[in-house]
Amino acid sequence: MKVMEAKDKKILCQAIESHHQIECIYHGKKRLLEPYLYGILGGKEHLHCYQFGGESESGGLPQWRNLRLDDIKHLRIIPHSHFDIRSSYHPENAHYHSIEKGINV
């Protein structure tokens, strides 16, 4: 069973709290993301984020995404980045069973 490392969860929490953009590898593709929350969706830990750059398997960027935490690799905060909360962000629309960490609106 793959699990996101504690150090990466700490980085993710820092990015959510400070509204910093992140970069990671997900399913072998580089993703540029604005992290909004992480929690339980469909019984697994997921990140609810806005992908604004990089690559995607399904195309269609920019786009809201739910990424499985255990599939996120090489996570880092993008230096000197900051994002404003998007008007299209509504945490209740993500349908998470529980939220571990998230941006309050």
Question: The pTM is what?
Answer: 0.93
Concatenated DSSP letters for 19-38? Answer: T--EEEEETTEEEEEEEEEE
Q: What is the pLDDT of residues 38-92, one digit of tens each?
A: 999 999 999 999 999 999 988 789 999 999 999 999 999 999 999 999 999 999 8
Task: With CA atoms as reference, report the closest residue to 35 among 103, 105, 97.
Answer: 103
What structural domains does the chain harbor?
6-99 (2.30.30)
